[in-house]
Amino acid sequence: MFHSTSFEAIIVAAELVLAISGTLILLIRALRRRFRHRGLAIGIAVKANVIALRYEPFTDSNGEVRGEPGWRIVAQSEEDSHGEARVFTSQRLWMNPKSHFPLGSKIVVYELPERPFGYAIQLDRLPGGEHK
């Protein structure tokens, strides 16, 4: 049915797709980490109140559930000089943050002035320091 050369070509193509996918995933993670560190280093500190802790599934761009669910912290800033309050959502956390960030507690968010929607939430109260 299959010639060995066509079968080998299919295997090589599949390996190439997996290698490119893996490289893209690592690149995206590195860029997110770099953006987060940049926000924590040079961002403008804003105090916010924790208003919700959400446990949600991991969904892809089509809305289909993929992988393990995770936690997110939702915080709202106090009104700024223009009378506006902003809502911030943390990246996915793999542990319940309730004991470290209870509802109503204060949290620090670092906004990047050059990016209107760019921010990083300081999560240094989580154990292990993985989100510092």
Q: Which two tokens stand for residue 51?
A: 């208003």
Contact 58, 66 (CB under 8 A): yes
The per-residue pLDDT for 12 is 83
35 located within any domain: no
Range of the domain at 105: 43-129
Q: Which two tokens stand for residue 123?
A: 């999560």
Q: Which residues of the chain have pLDDT under 70?
A: 1-4, 30-40, 63, 65, 67, 79-82, 116, 128-132
Residue 85: is it exposed, middle or buried by C-beta count within 10 angstroms (0-12/13-18/19+)? exposed
The per-residue pLDDT for 132 is 38
Q: Residue 8 to residues 4, 11, 18, 65: CA-CA distances in angstroms?
A: 6, 5, 15, 33
The per-residue pLDDT for 118 is 80
62 located within any domain: yes
Domain count, the chain: 1
The per-residue pLDDT for 106 is 94
The per-residue pLDDT for 130 is 45
The per-residue pLDDT for 74 is 96
The per-residue pLDDT for 102 is 94
89 located within any domain: yes
Q: Which run of H or E residues covers position 24? A: helix 4-42
Three-class SS state of 82 = coil
Three-class SS state of 129 = helix
